[in-house]
Structure 1
Amino acid sequence: MFWLCITSLLSVTAVTSAQNIETRRIRVFPAANKSIAGVFQVSNLNDLNQPQYTFNASDARRLCSALGVNIASKAQVQEALTRGLETCRFGWIDEHFAVIPRIKALSTCGQSQKGLVTWRASVTRKFDVFCFNESDAATQLKDATTDSLLNGRDYSRKTQFPSKTASPTQTTHSTSSSSSLSSSSSTSKTIDREAQPARFVGGAQSSAGVKAILITSTCALLLTAIIILAYIKMRRSRALSSDAKQQQQEYIQTEEWTCVTNIKETNETAQEDERMEVDDDAS
């Protein structure tokens, strides 16, 4: 039980130290709170506000844990790649090797390779890290399912009720509106793909803080229980020793009283014998 408390306290210390990350030097891609299939890449910024490889394999895992998420697996990064995730920097994943998700071949990224480019480097080598937020992935999957159902319904309605031929004015208006929508959507995608400094609102840190408080409270209760049990045991041992001493004293007193009584009886018997002899002599 004691070693369990020590282990828990060490884990609390590790969580607390992991929370002491300079958030202004952390950058996430693609932008804060906008992961793709729950996957996002975390980089460290130098003094010139430029990303640099900073995390080895163990540091990468601890960083994702400090953010309240898990380090992404190869399958999760592959799924994010199929949904549009593309970077130009290597990042650690759960299988202890670094990857770059590439949609287009580029000579300066992943040696002109496409797909999930892997690098089985030493675990001490420093890269970025890919983290996975399970709640974001579930939300995005739900939204994608809802959108697909809505699109299917719209398509069925359009096939059942074809619209009339639009006038040139309506055609021009629809063309301009569609072009404006496409430009705005492309602009929003560009903005979303820009890497922004992470805004850690406190969801991950609060959950980690709650865990630390629970572990600390549990250890405190266990230590208190141990102290109380030790105190009760000590009191019992003292009470038993005092009872033993008292019984020993009573036994000694009883023996002394028995000895005194025997001596008195012996003296009285001797005196009676002497009297009897004197009486015999006198007669």
Structure 2
Amino acid sequence: MIWLCFTLVLSFTSVISDQNIDSSHIRVFPGKDQSVAGVFQVSDLNYLNQPQYSYNASDARSLCLSLGVNIASKAQVQEALTRGLETCRYGWIDEHLAVIPRVNALLNCGKNNTGLVTWRVHVTRKLDVFCFNESDAARQLKDATTDSPSDRTDFSGQTQSSSRAASSSPTSSSSTPTTIDYRAKPARFVGGSQSSAGAKAILITSTCGLFLITIIILAFIKLRRSRAVSTDIKQAEEYIQTVEWTSEEKTEEAAQEEERMEDERIEDERMEDERIEDERIEVEENAS
């Protein structure tokens, strides 16, 4: 149980360290503190501050959780697409699919297709990730039931301006799409899961500490009791031995006393016999 506590503490420590995302190494599209219908895309940045594919399916899900949100589903990205979200980089979604939302056809983005372009690849393939902020989506839905035309123009215009800098060579379905810099600012997130995991780690640590203290106290009490019992047993043995010695001494004294009394009785009988014999002899002499 002690080792289990240590293992849990180390595991939560590892989780917390993994969830402390360096915001200078990630880039969010459409931008910092922005999303479309709650959906935003997260890319990793290399040493040149350029986006690169870095997350497999498992890492993608963990990254969204570390930011305090969930990985987006296909339906959620589709909804964001209808409201103007358009990218040119593949990102993982909840169904273990890679997708690109496209409003306009572009040769080097999504194989010149429009709509939600899907790409079924192995889960170990490294891509970006689409995350979903439920509270952000609810707020946007409350603010307006539909996006304004200017909002759609912003998203599509940003993609089109970026696409002019991209290579015009065709992209096959089995190759990695061309990387395009959306010039989005690095995101700064304070995920609720970080504080939650920290609280859980503190709770686990405190529980294990109390458990260890309880074990030490119980062990101390048990040790004292065992020593007390050992002392009582030793005293009882000494008492029994003393009683046996006293009993033996009394038995020996009683035997000696009994022997002495027997000797006195025999001596008295002998003296009485001698007295009777002397009196008989004396009587006979007087009679003669």
| Distance of 1:90 and 1:241 partners within structure 2 | 74
Aligned-partner SS, 1:108 = coil
The answer to whether the Cα contact below 8 Å between 2:92 and 2:130 also exists between their aligned partners in 1 is yes
CA distance change for structure 1 residues 202 and 73 in 2, over 3 Å: closer, same or farther?
A: closer
| Distance of 1:260 and 1:117 partners within structure 2 | 108
Name 2:102's counterpart in structure 1: 102
Q: Report the TM-score when normalising by structure 1.
A: 0.74
RMSD, aligned CA: 3.2
The answer to whether the Cα contact below 8 Å between 2:68 and 2:191 also exists between their aligned partners in 1 is no
Of the three residues 230, 245, 256, the one matched with 1:267 is 256
| Distance of 2:83 and 2:254 partners within structure 1 | 112
CA drift of 1:206 comes to: 4.4
Stretches of structure 1 lacking an aligned partner (at least 5 in a row): 149-180
CA drift of 1:129 comes to: 1.6
Amino acid corresponding to residue 213 of structure 1 in structure 2: I
Amino acid corresponding to residue 199 of structure 1 in structure 2: R
1:39 aligns with 2:28: no
1:30 aligns with 2:19: no
Amino acid corresponding to residue 104 of structure 1 in structure 2: N
Name 1:11's counterpart in structure 2: 11
| Distance of 1:41 and 1:222 partners within structure 2 | 44
CA distance change for structure 1 residues 60 and 183 in 2, over 3 Å: closer, same or farther?
A: closer
Rg (Cα) greater in structure: 2
CA distance change for structure 1 residues 81 and 19 in 2, over 3 Å: closer, same or farther?
A: same
The answer to whether the Cα contact below 8 Å between 1:12 and 1:216 also exists between their aligned partners in 2 is no
The answer to whether the Cα contact below 8 Å between 1:30 and 1:194 also exists between their aligned partners in 2 is no
CA distance change for structure 1 residues 112 and 225 in 2, over 3 Å: closer, same or farther?
A: farther
Name 2:116's counterpart in structure 1: 116
Aligned-partner SS, 2:112 = coil
What is the aligned-residue identity percentage? 60
| Distance of 1:214 and 1:184 partners within structure 2 | 45
Q: Report the TM-score when normalising by structure 2.
A: 0.73
1:220 aligns with 2:198: no
| Distance of 1:272 and 1:122 partners within structure 2 | 112
More helix, by proportion: 1
CA drift of 1:112 comes to: 2.6
| Distance of 1:84 and 1:22 partners within structure 2 | 29
Count of matched residue positions in the alignment of Structure 1 and Structure 2? 250
The answer to whether the Cα contact below 8 Å between 2:16 and 2:194 also exists between their aligned partners in 1 is no
Aligned-partner SS, 1:111 = helix
CA distance change for structure 1 residues 257 and 39 in 2, over 3 Å: closer, same or farther?
A: farther
Which runs of structure 2 are paired with 1:56-67 in the superposition (5 Å)? Answer: 56-67=56-67
Stretches of structure 2 lacking an aligned partner (at least 5 in a row): 160-181, 273-288
CA drift of 1:13 comes to: 1.7
CA drift of 1:269 comes to: 1.8
Amino acid corresponding to residue 250 of structure 1 in structure 2: Y
Kindly provide the CA deviation profile for residues 255-275 of structure 1, in whole angstroms up to 9, marking residues without a partner as x: 222222222222222222222
| Distance of 2:62 and 2:155 partners within structure 1 | 32
